[in-house]
Chains A and B, each alone.
Chain A
Amino acid sequence: MDESLWHESVPRRMKLSTSKADEAFESIFHEHWSAIHRLLSRMVIDPAEAEDLALETFLRLYKYRPAQHENFNTRAWLYKVATNLALHSIRSFKRRDHYESHAGKDALIESQEDQPSKLFAEKEDRYFVHMALGQMNPRQAELLVLRYSGIPYKEIAAALSLAPTSIGPLLLRAEREFEQCYRTLTQEEEK
Chain B
Amino acid sequence: MKDHLNDGQLRAALDRELDSDELKHLEACTQCQARQKMLESQIHPTAERLSFLSFPANDTGLSTSAAWKKFNNDRLAQKETNMFRKLFAIPLLKYGVPVVLIFALILAFPGTRALASELLNLFRVQQVAVVPVDFTGMEQLNGAVGSDISQLISDSITMTKKPGDPVTVTGADEASQQAGFDVRVPQNMTPSRISVMSGSSFTLKVDRAKAQALLNEAGRTDLILPDSIDGANVSVTIPSSVSIAFGTCPQPSKDGDGFDTNSNGSPGRRYADCLILAEIPSPSVSAPASLNVAQLAQIGLEFSGMTSEQAAAYTDTVDWTSTLVVPIPKNAASYQQVAVDGVTGTLIERPADDAPQFALLWVKDGIIYAIGGLGSNSQQALEIANSLP
Please, which residue of chain A has its CB at the minimum distance from the CB of B268? A52
Report if A14 contacts B (CB, 8 A): no
* B residues near A170, Cβ cutoff 8 Å: 8
* A residues near B78, Cβ cutoff 8 Å: 59
Distance in angstroms between the alpha carbons of A178 and B71 in the assembled complex? 34
* A residues near B264, Cβ cutoff 8 Å: 53, 56, 85, 88-89, 92
Report if A69 contacts B (CB, 8 A): no
Report if B54 contacts A (CB, 8 A): yes
Distance in angstroms between the alpha carbons of A150 and B47 in the assembled complex? 12
Please, which residue of chain B has its CB at the minimum distance from the CB of A146? B53
Distance in angstroms between the alpha carbons of A114 and B7 in the assembled complex? 43
Across the interface, A52 reaches (CB within 8 A) one of B8, B11, B54, B354, namely B354
- A126–B52 contact, CB under 8 A? yes
Least Cβ–Cβ distance between A62 and chain B, in angstroms = 7
Q: How many residues of A contact B (CB 8 A)?
A: 55
Report if A23 contacts B (CB, 8 A): no
* B residues near A43, Cβ cutoff 8 Å: 53
- Stretch of A5-13, A29-37, A105-113 that contacts chain B: A29-37
Across the interface, A179 reaches (CB within 8 A) one of B6, B45, B269, B354, namely B45
Interface of B is mostly: helix
* B residues near A85, Cβ cutoff 8 Å: 264
* A residues near B7, Cβ cutoff 8 Å: 168-169, 172
- A54–B67 contact, CB under 8 A? yes
* A residues near B45, Cβ cutoff 8 Å: 179
- A30–B64 contact, CB under 8 A? yes
* A residues near B39, Cβ cutoff 8 Å: 172
Take A169-B7, A179-B45 as given contacts and tell me if A49 and B53 are in contact as well, using a CB distance cutoff of 8 Å.
no
Take A85-B264, A92-B264 as given contacts and tell me if A50 and B61 are in contact as well, using a CB distance cutoff of 8 Å.
yes
Distance in angstroms between the alpha carbons of A89 and B265 in the assembled complex? 5
Produce 1/0 per residue, B256-281, CB < 8 A to A: 00000000111001100000000000
Produce 1/0 per residue, B328-371, CB < 8 A to A: 00000000000000000000000000100000000000000000
Distance in angstroms between the alpha carbons of A175 and B10 in the assembled complex? 14
Take A56-B264, A179-B45 as given contacts and tell me if A168 and B8 are in contact as well, using a CB distance cutoff of 8 Å.
yes
- B12–A167 contact, CB under 8 A? yes
Distance in angstroms between the alpha carbons of A167 and B349 in the assembled complex? 49
* A residues near B1, Cβ cutoff 8 Å: none
Distance in angstroms between the alpha carbons of A53 and B47 in the assembled complex? 25
- B71–A55 contact, CB under 8 A? yes
* B residues near A59, Cβ cutoff 8 Å: 71, 74-75, 78
- B59–A41 contact, CB under 8 A? yes
Report if B15 contacts A (CB, 8 A): yes
Least Cβ–Cβ distance between A3 and chain B, in angstroms = 15
Take A169-B6, A169-B7 as given contacts and tell me if A37 and B12 are in contact as well, using a CB distance cutoff of 8 Å.
no
* A residues near B269, Cβ cutoff 8 Å: 46, 48-49
The total of interchain contacts (Cβ-Cβ below 8 angstroms) comes to 128
Please, which residue of chain B has its CB at the minimum distance from the CB of A171? B11
- A153–B15 contact, CB under 8 A? yes
Take A34-B57, A62-B75, A172-B39 as given contacts and tell me if A147 and B15 are in contact as well, using a CB distance cutoff of 8 Å.
yes
- B62–A37 contact, CB under 8 A? yes
Take A149-B54, A179-B46 as given contacts and tell me if A169 and B8 are in contact as well, using a CB distance cutoff of 8 Å.
yes
Please, which residue of chain B has its CB at the minimum distance from the CB of A179? B46
* B residues near A58, Cβ cutoff 8 Å: 71
Take A26-B68, A29-B68, A47-B61 as given contacts and tell me if A39 and B53 are in contact as well, using a CB distance cutoff of 8 Å.
yes
Distance in angstroms between the alpha carbons of A179 and B47 in the assembled complex? 10
Across the interface, B11 reaches (CB within 8 A) one of A92, A150, A152, A168, namely A168
Take A55-B71, A147-B15 as given contacts and tell me if A33 and B64 are in contact as well, using a CB distance cutoff of 8 Å.
yes
* B residues near A150, Cβ cutoff 8 Å: 53-54
14 intermolecular pairs with C-beta atoms under 8 Å apart: A37-B59, A41-B59, A51-B61, A88-B265, A89-B265, A89-B266, A129-B52, A153-B15, A168-B10, A168-B13, A168-B15, A169-B7, A172-B39, A175-B43
Q: Which 6 A-B pairs have the closest CB atoms?
A: A169-B8, A168-B12, A168-B8, A148-B50, A92-B265, A148-B53
Q: A50-B61, A55-B67, A129-B50 are in contact. List 17 more A-B contacts (CB 8 A).
A: A29-B64, A29-B67, A29-B68, A33-B64, A34-B64, A37-B67, A52-B266, A53-B264, A55-B74, A59-B75, A152-B17, A168-B10, A168-B12, A172-B7, A176-B42, A178-B46, A178-B49
Q: Which residues in B have some Cβ–Cβ distance to A below 8 Å? A: 6-13, 15, 17, 39, 42-43, 45-47, 49-55, 57, 59-62, 64, 67-68, 70-71, 74-75, 78, 264-266, 269-270, 354
